Amino acid sequence: MPIPQLSLQEIYGDISEQQAKRYATLKESFTQKYGRAPDFFSRAPGRVNIIGEHIDYHGYGVLPMSINQDIVCAVAVNHDKPVLRLANTQSQYKDFICTVDEVAIKGIDWHEYFLCGWKGVVENASLSSPCGMDVMLDGCVPKSSGLSSSSALVCCAAMCTARANQKEYEQVVIADLCAKCEKYIGTMGGGMDQSICFLGEVGKAKQIEFNPLRATTCHLPESISFVISNSLTEINKAAPCSQFNVRVVEGRAAAQILAKNHGLEWRSFKKLKQVQDALGKSFDEMMELVKAELEPGLYTRQQLQEKLEVTDEELLSVMLSPQTQTVQQFNVHNRAMHVFSEAARVHKTSATADASDGEKELGRLMTESHVSCSQLYECSSPELDELTAICRDAGALGSRLTGAGWGGCAVSVVPTEQLASFLDKVRENFYSKDPERMARVETALFATKPGSGAAYLCL
Ligand code: NG1
């Protein structure tokens, strides 16, 4: 399916006064800034991941939904001058300008995420002389909070570039392309965020599988609501040697040791799912192998070399990425246990979600996922542990961190009839005790529903 062109109503349902004002202001700011009206608008949503954390980059399926919080770009094409001019409605994000042959991604400023999407399309479509664009961006996905603001920006930029250069993409093709080009920024992530961004649908959570990329609707119980709560601490997963990138290579190390133990061509194994597929074993059997064959605790670089019978140089080339060349210690046992158990939880969720009592099972699996993220994957934070505990005490059937973690948001599943009292209790017990948290509670704590995927807008 190509990227659709939708009306505001098709995207948001009833259009609030606030939303109508937002689009009018964006149009006006664009015209003021560039002295002409925009030619078109692109819109890409953030997402919340219900379950399946840190397993997409190991090849496993995940269960996210797109949300109404999004990034919108107003765009006019520069046919006669090959210049990119980028501006943001939020003044803390500075203007950026360059010619199309000067594009360079050197850091992690907001405009560099835009350039990732631009570069992805330009390379994929082999555009030898891409046109210039004037762009004004307006975003309301909280940044670095696990709701995929970075991918929404990359995907939106790719859509702008495609339309400005008269290229049409199928949703799965551009999703795949965006997963690859976001890596220019320095993260080694999987494809969950870009996939749900394009494949999300109003009212539907999606089970996303990779290789080949596909999405099926997961029917969730009618009686529940999802609530996002932000711990109001941020992470930067793009930094070199960030914990995120370290986790990617720890999983890869586990995959390579297991592959070598079983006489496989271990150098070609980069993801844990590849090993499971090659061995033809169930999740439980893979967890047994992890217990039997990987040492709990940390492997030093020396120990990894001995295990794999390679030199440090070879370790650098077959296992470590440019971002993780200096990592010295690897917890392969716990990371692999998390990945196999979490992938199994995604399967259980989609198998049981619409059964009678499915909501209780979903809650239980979500809480189990949080414990695994916190204890085995070590991607939680004191604030997220506190917040998810408060959410469970407030009546959530289950609560877990969502997205990369180490800060950012939690997602809770709550019986809809208890939603109001749940929100009151979380406001009281997590936010109201701290004036800084309380000042941000309106945008930090909210119920959410599956929203529309990415679209061009008819306004
Ligand atoms: P967020 O929440 O946007 O930081 C990241 C990765 C996902 C996935 C999750 C953890 C990117 C762009 N996103 O998401 O692919 O691995 O962490 O489940 O790298």
139-172: pLDDT as tens digits: 999 988 899 999 999 999 999 999 999 999 999 9
| Probe residue for ligand 1, chosen from 60, 192, 252 as the CB with the greatest number of ligand atoms within 8 Å | 192
Q: For residue 71, what are its two tokens?
A: 């990034």
The whole-number pLDDT of residue 235 equals 74
The whole-number pLDDT of residue 367 equals 98
Where does the pLDDT of residue 353 fall: very low under 50, low under 70, confident under 90, or very high at 90 and above? confident
48-55: average pLDDT:
98
The whole-number pLDDT of residue 366 equals 97
- CA-nearest residue for atom 3, ligand 1, is 148
Residue with tokens 């009592």: 357
Q: Residue 245: name the closest of 255, 233, 237, 253 by CA.
A: 237
- Helix then strand count (H, E) for the chain reads 17, 15
109 is known as an active-site residue: no
- CA-nearest residue for atom 6, ligand 1, is 189
Where does the pLDDT of residue 323 fall: very low under 50, low under 70, confident under 90, or very high at 90 and above? confident
- CA-nearest residue for atom 8, ligand 1, is 54
283-308: average pLDDT:
96
Give the chain's end-to-end CA distance (angstroms, integer): 22
The whole-number pLDDT of residue 220 equals 87
Where does the pLDDT of residue 222 fall: very low under 50, low under 70, confident under 90, or very high at 90 and above? confident
Q: Residue 309: name the closest of 352, 369, 261 by CA.
A: 261
CA 264 to chain centre: 32
Whether 196 has a pLDDT exceeding 70, the answer reads yes
| Crossing angle (nearest 10°) for helices 110-124 and 149-164 | 50
Percent of the chain with pLDDT over 70: 99
The whole-number pLDDT of residue 18 equals 87
Where does the pLDDT of residue 105 fall: very low under 50, low under 70, confident under 90, or very high at 90 and above? very high
284-300: average pLDDT:
97
The whole-number pLDDT of residue 238 equals 61
Q: Among the atoms of ligand 1, which is closest to the Cα of residue 53?
A: 18
Q: Which residue ranges form the domains of the chain, and what is each CATH number? A: 5-220+451-457 (3.30.230.10)
Distance of CA 132 to CAs 81, 83, 314, Å?
Answer: 6, 4, 43
Whether 365 has a pLDDT exceeding 80, the answer reads yes
The whole-number pLDDT of residue 241 equals 61
Ligand 1 pocket, CB under 6 A: 49, 53-54, 56-57, 146, 148, 150-151, 182, 187, 189-190, 192-193, 237, 403-404
Q: Among the atoms of ligand 1, which is closest to the Cα of residue 379?
A: 10
The whole-number pLDDT of residue 16 equals 84
| Cα 190 to ligand 1 centre (Å) | 7
Whether 39 has a pLDDT exceeding 70, the answer reads yes
Whether 186 has a pLDDT exceeding 90, the answer reads no
- CA-nearest residue for atom 19, ligand 1, is 189
- pLDDT, one tens digit per residue, over 224-243 is 999 999 999 987 666 656 89
Look up the pTM and report it: 0.95
| Probe residue for ligand 1, chosen from 156, 237, 272, 401 as the CB with the greatest number of ligand atoms within 8 Å | 237
The whole-number pLDDT of residue 120 equals 97
The whole-number pLDDT of residue 155 equals 98
Q: Pick the catalytic residue: 193, 284, 312, 354?
A: 193
- CA-nearest residue for atom 17, ligand 1, is 404
Distance of CA 86 to CAs 26, 106, 108, 116, 132, Å?
Answer: 13, 16, 15, 13, 11
- The least confident of 218-222, 235-239, 347-351, 430-434 is 235-239
Instruction: Find all residues with CB under 8 Å of 354, minimum gap 6, and list them.
Output: 219, 220, 221
DSSP-derived secondary structure for 59-116: T--BEEEEEEEEEEEEEEEESSS-EEEEEESSTTS--EEEEGGG----S--HHHHHHH
Q: Among the atoms of ligand 1, which is closest to the Cα of residue 402?
A: 2
Q: Are 195 and 209 in contact (CB under 8 A)?
A: no
Q: Are 457 and 7 in contact (CB under 8 A)?
A: yes
Selected residue with higher pLDDT from 54 and 449: 54
The whole-number pLDDT of residue 239 equals 64
Selected residue with higher pLDDT from 239 and 335: 335
- The least confident of 176-180, 181-185, 376-380, 387-391 is 181-185
The DSSP H or E segment spanning 353 is none
Q: Are 452 and 1 in contact (CB under 8 A)?
A: no
Whether 137 has a pLDDT exceeding 80, the answer reads yes
The whole-number pLDDT of residue 242 equals 84
| Cα 189 to ligand 1 centre (Å) | 6
Q: Among the atoms of ligand 1, which is closest to the Cα of residue 191?
A: 15
Mean pLDDT of the chain: 94
My answer on whether omega of the bond before 142 falls inside 30° of 0, hence cis, is no
Percent of the chain with pLDDT over 90: 85
